[in-house]
Amino acid sequence: MYRGALTAGRLAQYAMTAADLGHVPTNAEYCEWWSCSERNGWYDRDYVDAHAVGFDELAGQLEKYPPEAAAEDLGAHHVTMIEFPYMPRASWDDDGELLEADFARHDRWMDTYAPYVRRMMIFWHGEIERDDGTVWARHSPEWRRAYLSLLRGWLDHNLERGFGPERFVLLVADELHSANLADSPDDNVQAVVETMRQVRTAIPELKLYQTLTYYAFPADVELMAPVTDFACVALPWPERLTRNAPPEYNPRQAWTEEIGPDLRAHCEQLGSYHVASGKSDSQLQWNHAYPLVALGQGLDAGVGHWAYNVARASTWHDWDGEGEVRLDYSFVYDGAEDHERNRRLNPTGEPVVPSIRWEALREGIQVAKLLLALREARDAGELPAEVAAQVDALWGEDLPIQRCTVHKHRNLLAHAPKHMQDELLSLIHISEPTRPY
């Protein structure tokens, strides 16, 4: 009963936040909107009383987690980038030139998060609405002028406040790809890349960021790679697509032979992310070994999980959410919940309880960082010859992951059950022996 009431309260709050922002809010926007009473100064209590139950309980929860606490926590966990998911309120003339903009909310974000996070990812998605309610279609000439003028205004504004362009990257379109292989690069990909080119010409100091999935075809990447500075690639790449391409098209082979080399030739950094399958994800494959799999593909700038910490209701119950999606994706558990599992497994009352998957991922990241540090020291000539030879063995022409000190001819998978070895080897699947970049 309480959980249902709390859900109703959240829905009402989301509706009120959306009405104020003009779009469906992200979790970060929602939390910021409701936890910053000094910015709003009010909320519609009559509306809340009429449409929500459990509001006071939820408000009490949010008071404990203001943006300042979230920012400090991000810094403590070495997060290097966060997303600016919505466009500042602004107005333009008929040609798309900026008349005025309200950066107050974004200023507060910068003041809160910039001390802890290296870069802010600008992601202004969608149509641009004019004062009369009409919109400019995405990537039309007017849209591009409006987009560029606001972008330049935002960057200039921040430069005056002490935040230079090196503190930002720009994502023009998320997970860009053509609708089908035969038409790649299609009109949408070409339009987005043209916008990226115009940004590169107008604001060369701003780095461009691109997310990429296995639905991106070689012709798509050939077009976008020259205007991409940082790429974040979804893993794994399957051997066949269920849509958009004929059965004989092999995305994994395309990655190995064309897409991966094309990105490495143009991008300053390559990272990766995994779209999690909830708690059913293998602890070995997509947690402990995931950073090593990424290294093996030359994606050494970092790893991440989409929906890495989302619970639909209780964090301690896997499938008690509501609606069509009921599965939890949480990597940590709420130690304050009144749940039997929490009482049994968290007797000391820790406020945040890490999962086995979270600890496995952390350990995998630590191993990957050690491997990178050894490689850098070797390449810089800082290691004795004997140690450098050992590093060569670690980064040898076999699978490019850490070798076991017991099974010299194998890697750490030698200690895993055979079915896990087979699964992980199928994910790495480097068709020709390579060194990671």
- pLDDT of 14: 56
- pLDDT of 207: 97
Q: Show me where the domains of the chain are located.
A: 1-64, 65-361
Helix pair angle (67-76, 27-35), 10° resolution: 130
CA dist 48 and 310 (Å) reads 25
CA dist 232 and 301 (Å) reads 9
CA dist 211 and 171 (Å) reads 8
Q: Is the peptide bond before 347 cis (omega within 30 degrees of 0)?
A: no
Looking at residue 88, the DSSP 8-state letter turns out to be: P
CA dist 238 and 255 (Å) reads 10
Q: Which of 285, 289, 299, 291 is nearest to 255 (CA)?
A: 299
- pLDDT of 31: 56
CA dist 265 and 226 (Å) reads 9
pLDDT along the chain (437 residues), means of 10: 35 57 58 48 62 67 72 80 83 92 90 92 84 87 95 96 96 96 97 97 96 97 97 94 95 95 94 83 84 87 81 76 64 88 91 86 89 89 90 62 37 46 47 29
CA dist 277 and 281 (Å) reads 5
- pLDDT of 7: 39
Q: 65-361, which class in CATH?
A: alpha beta
CA dist 282 and 261 (Å) reads 29
Q: What is the value of pTM for the model shown?
A: 0.75
Non-local CB neighbours of 275 within 8 Å, separated by 6+ positions? 234, 305, 306, 307
Q: Is the peptide bond before 185 cis (omega within 30 degrees of 0)?
A: yes
- pLDDT of 305: 86
- pLDDT of 153: 96
